[in-house]
Amino acid sequence: MIEPLLEVKGLAAGYGKIGVLQGIDLTIGKAEIVALLGPNGAGKTTLLKAVSGLLPCTGSIRFGGKDMSGAGPREAVREGLVHVVEGHRVFTQLTVHDNLLLAGYGMPRREIGPRVEEALAFFPEIAAKRADRAITLSGGQQQMLAVAQGLVRRPRLLMLDEPSAGLSPVLVDRVLAAAARLREAGTAVLLVEQLIEKALALADRVYALARGAIVLQARTDEPDLPNRLEHAYFGQDVSAPLASP
């Protein structure tokens, strides 16, 4: 049995008076990759924002045994919960190296240099461009930089929101390979992804989200899973009991 790292129970969140999520239960174990799949508008990004403290929510969030309900993004990052948002969010006028130094803001100065080098080791393409401004990078390289920014914090859980968006197949594989290496090093990953086959090949377990609710949860080695996911998206009751993490 994998020891739980993140435990979400009864989470509800939305934007103003518009409710998006209701009654979300989700668990991620230590050094586990969990895929969060679902159609556009299902609430996947909203869920990540709520867990990372970017969006107010109700319900219970425990991380590493600590109650994180109501915690903000700074506290989440301090505890090792790092959220890489969708869309290559980097500082385009800063160099690659400076982007990574900024990601280590608030850390002891002696630790930042080694952490930056660790992060760059995952992505040789941007390591070779450390002195270049981020605006000169391709979209795929900017995505790598965004992930590397998260790695500077040495997260216990890295949440990736659509890391493959806009990338070529080769660069998608490179980013997802980094996630696999993180698992080997003991980091858990929550992956929101539209490339279902690649996500299922990488992840240990999967949650499917539709209409603001979890409609399926399963291990990725369970039979007929792609077909069950397709049915879940369209509202049929194909939920399976959650394998204990």
From CA 68, how far away is CA 102, in angstroms rounded? 25
Residues 6+ apart with CB under 8 A from 70: none
Where residue 244 falls among pLDDT bands split at 50, 70, 90? very low
User: Number of helices (H) and strands (E), helices first, in the chain?
Assistant: 9, 10
Beta bridge partners of 33: 189
Q: In angstroms, how far apart are the furthest CA atoms of the chain?
A: 54
Topology (CATH level 3) of domain 4-80+155-233: Rossmann fold (3.40.50)
Residues 6+ positions from 129 with CB-CB distance below 8 Å: 96, 136, 137, 141
Question: Is pLDDT of 212 > 50?
Answer: yes
- In degrees rounded to 5, what are phi and psi of residue 138? -70, 170
* More confident of the two residues 245 and 232: 232
Q: What is the CA radius of gyration of the chain?
A: 18
pLDDT at 215 over 50: yes
Reported confidence tier of residue 238, pLDDT bands at 50, 70, 90: very low
> pLDDT for 32-49, tens place per residue?
999 999 988 899 999 999
- The strand order across the sheet containing 18-29 reads 18-29, 4-15, 57-63, 66-67
Question: Is 125 in contact with 156 (CB distance < 8 Å)?
Answer: no
Share of the chain above pLDDT 70, in %: 94
Name the β-bridge partners of 208: 37, 216
Going from N- to C-terminal start, the domains of the chain cover 4-80+155-233, 90-146
Q: What is the mean pLDDT of residues 68-96?
A: 90
**Cβ-based neighbour number of residue 127 at 10 Å:** 17
Mean pLDDT of 223-241: 71
Q: Rounded mean pLDDT of 133-158?
A: 92
Q: How far apart are CA 240 and CA 211, in angstroms?
A: 18
Mean pLDDT of 65-79: 93
CA-to-CA distance for 235 and 219, rounded, in angstroms? Answer: 20
Please, where are the H alpha helices in 35-189? 44-51, 73-79, 96-103, 109-121, 124-127, 139-151, 169-184
d(CA 107, CA 88) in angstroms, rounded, equals 23
Neighbours of 21 (CB within 10 A): 24
